Amino acid sequence: MTSMTAGSGGQSPIRRGANLPRVGDFNELVVLDAIRRQRSGLSRVELAQATGLSPQTVSNITRRLLDQGVIRESGRQSSGSGKPRTLLEIVPASLYAVGVHLDPAVITCVVVDLLGTVVAQHSHTTPSGGDTDKIAADMAASVSALVADSVADRDRVLGLGIAAPGPIDVVAGWVVDPPELPGWGRYPLRDRLSEATGLPAVLDKDVTAAVVAERWTGAATASRNLLFFYFGTGTGMGLVVDDTVLRGISGNAGEVGGLGAGCSTRILVEEAVALGVLGAEYTVASPADAQRGLERLAVLSAAGDAAADGILERLAIRIGRGVCAAATLLDVDTVVFGGPAWQVLGDRLLETVEPMVASSPFVKATHPTAVVTTTLGASVAAVGAASLVLDGALSAQPGALLLK
């Protein structure tokens, strides 16, 4: 399958349909995805041009989507001559998804609509200790309560996405001895939450979920080749090449230690305490404790404290080198940064990282590389978890065309 750009001035990549037998479901998703990516709406003529499907196929598909209430007619567009064309757009409230992000510091639950807009959200500190069954039960209860209290009709909720720190076992749905989460071991989180909530569930790495969020509803919906640098309790990268999310053979792609860009908030704050930049009262006893130290480091750096700024400068250089190497290897056009720690330190880190990417002899050779901060805030991984559900159910996956 190839891709092209929508014909009404948009820049979003659109998958091409296939005028072949037994691909009706795939083509329906191609059309739905094209309309979703073009927020200003697309006419049937533009859909046929953008997707490569015949006008009759597009007409049949849009009729079904209109009957299902997933799309609606949103107005008319004059093309200068002839009859004005009717525009079609997504109905956001037609479908919903739930996302939950298990981070060592905070657990975040969200409900999003079909366009990925958050309609309900709840966060609480991740409990310490190893009572995983109780923590999972509390997560499930939070999910169920959030759905019940939101505008989402339960019958319109497609499922539950779960984002967790790696390593994970995607096939079994387990988290596997995640760092900073002692006592979890090999835990069947996907199935436990699915059973407790009654929702079909999918589990993925938090960095992968974050890049899916950007691809679905964030700052990089128009990019087919991007990387997301995630900085939460730890660091990692989510990767997209040719509009395909890269997960690796075990679903654990995105580790950045080998690029020299690995860091945890605990290590960062402990370094500041050891150097006397922060007092002993900022000593980290649990991942949630690091937030105070990060905020204080940001304040000191902004106020001109050379030692505090030096810590952040060294971190920024490590991140910049790792991002430049990955951007070169993958030949991406967009680099997005985000995560809870990035929300605190990002402005300072970007002062160093952005020029590094712009001046890299490897990145700049044939095309510009956009460097941006996520528009989805600290809850980007939770939004990504929900986006995993939307993406899995509603994005056209070329693999679906393979004969079984």
352 and 231 share a domain?
yes
The confidence score (pLDDT) of residue 350 equals: 97
184 and 230 share a domain?
no
Bridge partners (DSSP) of residue 235 are 231
* Token representation of residue 293: 């130290």
Phi then psi dihedrals of residue 232, to 5 deg: -115, -125
285 and 255 share a domain?
yes
Phi then psi dihedrals of residue 101, to 5 deg: -115, 120
Is position 6 within any domain?
Answer: no
DSSP reduced 3-state for 247: coil
252 and 363 share a domain?
yes
- Domain CATH code at residue 341: 3.30.420.40
72 and 118 share a domain?
no
- Residue 51's domain comprises 20-90
The answer to whether the Cα torsion of 379, 380, 385, 391 is positive or negative is: positive
Phi then psi dihedrals of residue 3, to 5 deg: -130, 160
242 and 346 share a domain?
yes
The confidence score (pLDDT) of residue 398 equals: 59
pTM of the model: 0.88
Is position 2 within any domain?
Answer: no
- Return the residue matching tokens 């005028």: 19
Query: Is 308:272 a contact under the CB 8 Å cutoff?
Result: yes
The confidence score (pLDDT) of residue 399 equals: 56
The answer to whether the Cα torsion of 60, 61, 67, 73 is positive or negative is: negative
238 and 339 share a domain?
yes
pLDDT tens for each residue of the chain, 404 residues long: 333 333 333 344 555 443 333 334 889 999 998 998 888 889 999 999 999 999 999 999 999 999 999 999 988 877 666 678 899 999 999 999 999 999 999 999 999 999 999 999 999 999 987 799 999 999 999 999 999 999 999 999 999 999 999 999 999 999 999 988 988 999 999 999 999 999 999 999 999 999 999 988 888 888 889 999 999 999 999 999 998 999 999 999 999 999 999 999 999 999 999 999 999 999 999 898 999 999 999 999 999 999 999 999 999 999 999 999 999 899 999 999 999 999 999 999 999 999 999 888 766 567 888 999 999 999 999 999 999 999 988 887 655 454 44
Is position 333 within any domain?
Answer: yes
Last residue of a domain, one of 70, 90, 110: 90
Distance between terminal CA atoms of the chain? 18
Is position 116 within any domain?
Answer: yes
The confidence score (pLDDT) of residue 365 equals: 64
Is position 396 within any domain?
Answer: yes
**123-147 exposure pattern, b = at least 16 Cβ within 10 A, e = fewer:** beebeeeeebeebbeebbebbbebb
143 and 194 share a domain?
yes
274 and 333 share a domain?
yes
238 and 352 share a domain?
yes
Alpha helices in 91-201 (DSSP H): 132-149, 189-197
Rounded CA separation 379/257 (Å): 23
Domain count of the chain? 3
The confidence score (pLDDT) of residue 3 equals: 33
Of 73, 132, 350, which is closest to residue 231 (Cα–Cα)?
350
